[in-house]
Chain A
Amino acid sequence: MFVIVNGESRPLPEPQTLATLLISLSPQAPFAVAHNEEFVLRRDYGACLISPGDRIDIVHPTAGG
């Protein structure tokens, strides 16, 4: 299946949870994640099921005013 990660389409084996997806993506810590534009608490990554076409946003600290 394909999912959209930070705006880019990525192929993934099925089935996936957000936790397994993040293991395969291994983003640099610290980060926070939204699934289909809804924020997901870190403790809920394992219960968050990923379906084809889902949108995942992974954000990091950045400079701001």
Chain B
Amino acid sequence: MSELETDDQLVIYGRRFSSRLLLGTARYESPSLLDDVIRAADPAMLTVSLRRQVAGSPDSGQSFWNLLRETERTILPNTAGCLSPDEAIKTACMARELFQTNLIKLEVIGDEVSLQPDPFGLVEAANQLVRLGFQVLPYCTEDWILCRRLMDVGCQVLMPWAAPIGTGQGPRNARALRELRKRAPNTPLIVDAGIGLPSHACQVMEWGFDGVLLNTAVSRADNPVRMAGAFASAIKAGHDAFVAGPMIVQETALPSTPEIGRPFATDRSTRLATTN
């Protein structure tokens, strides 16, 4: 890998990744489909959860765990469904023992309809988890004060939503997301939740976000494997465009082909005068 490529990596709590896609493992029709999707997406991390065992469930237990390990991807456990800081902290502690990692995708849900994060509970839980040695990736909104508080308590990565979980609406508050990017230029920002199309992912990457976390947009596609590849391409394209530096939008047309030397180019002002 060249020095340029090494410099242009996603860095999460000191871990370096060439991929900027984080992939959820839920809602696939079969373990083999999930395996194929992982190959197509080439994700930096896989998000997982923990639950009581359901007899006969193909996406839990030992077989699921073996599939994850064989992918050799970094595992990012979540606290999905937790409604209080206390619940999220206990779940994180169980996840740490289960998955043998300090990484935690912290979810503290404040509204069971919109699945919107509870900003107060989120900061409280993040604060305690950082003190317990966790490397916290909080699922948050784009609210700048919330993001600042999360950074204040030690979160080195933020994961603002694009839209409510599972909706596929794409970025609902583009202006605030872009402002957040400007206000926190040195903090890795992963857009998590609400992405539905590769163009949504490409868009946020063009704005300078560091990565995208996806699940439903891939698992609920008609062809999840092909969609995984489309997202991987879109995320790379958006990031490359951001790094390349887009042109400045102009108010008036400007010919891209030089006018000088064009054949048959009589002096236009003279011709107009003759005609009139």
Contact = CB atoms under 8 A, between A and B. Distances in A.
Nearest to B66: A61
A61 B50 contact: yes
B90 A62 contact: no
B97 A62 contact: no
B28 A30 contact: no
Interface residues of A, number: 24
B52 A7 contact: yes
Contact of A34 (B47, B90, B99, B215): B90
Interface stretch (B54-62, B199-207, B232-240): B54-62
Main secondary structure of the interface of B (DSSP, over half): mixed
Given A28-B53, A32-B50, A61 B68 contact: yes
Nearest to A29: B62
B78 interface: yes
Contact of B51 (A27, A29, A60): A60
B48 A62 contact: yes
B94 A39 contact: yes
A62 B68 contact: no
Contact of A59 (B24, B51, B62, B64): B51
Contacts of B25: 63-65
Contacts of A34: 90, 94
Nearest to B62: A28
B116 to A, nearest CB: 16
23 contacts: A6-B52, A7-B52, A30-B99, A32-B50, A58-B52, A60-B62, A61-B48, A61-B61, A61-B64, A61-B99, A62-B49, A62-B57, A63-B26, A63-B28, A63-B60, A64-B24, A64-B77, A64-B78, A65-B24, A65-B25, A65-B27, A65-B49, A65-B78
Interface of A: 6-7, 27-34, 37-39, 41-42, 57-65
